[in-house]
Homo-oligomer: A and B are copies of this chain.
Amino acid sequence: MLRIAYFGPEGTFTEQAARALAPGEDLTPYETIRLALDAVRDGAADGACIPIENSVEGVVPATLDGLGGGSALVAVAEAVLPIRFSVLARAGATEIRTVASHPHALAQVREWLEANLPHATAVAASSTAAAAVGVVEGTYDAAVSAPVAIEHYPLEELATGIADVGDAQTRFLLVRRPGELPEPTGADRTSIVAAAENRTGTLAQLLSELAGRAINLTRLDARPVRDSFGEYRFFIDFEGHLAEPRIADALTALRRRCHLRFLGSHPRADQLPATIEPGAGNQDFLDARAWVDAVLKGEDA
C-alpha cells in the first residue's frame, strides 16, 4: 500500500481528491501544502495530493511555490472535482443561528445562505473541516463542508450539492519523486517551471518555442521569485507528453534558453485530446530529423 500525504485536515475536498487519485492507499493529512510535499521529498510518503487551481479563486500560490522550490517533484495524475458543499448540523438541531466555514467557502454559498438560513450568522473558521469539528463540539450550529466530511463527523446533512456558481471546480495533482513517467495517452498535460532572466522579451521567446511547434498552452502563471517584485518564475502547462518527439524537441529548445524544471506529463482529467496541426505531429518531427540525418550521410539532399 502506498503512503499518500495530502493537504488536510481530514474531511476536505483535498481528501476527496486523494481518495479519487489513490483509491485504497494509506492517506495521511498534513497541515500545510509545503509539509505534504516535503513528506514526499524526505521519503515519509510515496506521493502527495494537493490542489493546484480553482476556477473561481485561481491558482494556489502555495502549491506553485512548493513545486518551484525544494527538490524536484513530478505530477503523475490529476483530478478535477466540482466544488459543491454540504451543510452539516447536529442530529435533531432545530434552530440554526450560526453557520461556520472557511471564508472562501462562505463566499461561494452566500446566496444560498441568504435564501435558506436568512437568520443565521456566518462565522469564519480555519477550514471547512474545522467548522464541522466546531459543530460537533457545539461551538457552531452548522458547517459548510466538503461532502466527504459526513464520513468523519457524527453530523447530519441539512443540504448537499450547494454552490452559488454551479460549475466551480478545483484541479488536484498527485505528485511523486522523479521516476518512470505515466504512459502517454494522446490526451496529456505537461507542466514546467521556467526561470528566465528579467530581460525584455524573454517570455515571448519562451512561448514562441512552444508556438513554433504548434504546442497549445493550457495555463500560464507568473509567480514572483522569493519576496521581491519584478523577478518571476513562469509555470507553464501545455498539451502533450514528454515521450512525444514534438514535446521533447520543445523542452530541448527551452532548456538552452532558461533554467527549466520538469513538473510532469500525465493524462488530463477531461481526456481532451491534444490539438495537432499539420506539419507539427510527432511523425513530422521524426521524419524531419531522419531527413537531416540522411543528408548528413550523403543519402539525401
Contacts and interface: CB of A to CB of B under 8 A. Distances in A.
Interface of A: 55-59, 61, 80, 102-103, 106, 122, 124-126, 130, 165-169, 171, 200-201, 203-205, 207-208, 210-212, 214-224, 227-230, 270, 275, 277
The majority secondary structure among interface residues of chain A is mixed
Given A168-B227, A200-B217, A201-B214, 14 more contacts: A102-B124, A103-B124, A103-B126, A124-B126, A171-B229, A200-B211, A201-B207, A203-B211, A203-B217, A204-B204, A204-B207, A204-B211, A205-B211, A221-B221
A102 B169 CA distance: 24
27 contacts: A55-B228, A56-B227, A57-B61, A58-B58, A58-B61, A58-B223, A80-B229, A102-B103, A102-B124, A103-B124, A103-B126, A106-B126, A124-B124, A124-B125, A124-B126, A167-B228, A168-B227, A200-B211, A203-B220, A204-B204, A204-B210, A208-B208, A218-B230, A219-B222, A220-B220, A220-B222, A221-B221
Nearest to A131: B124
Nearest to A167: B227
Given A103-B102, A211-B200, A275-B200, A229 B124 contact: no
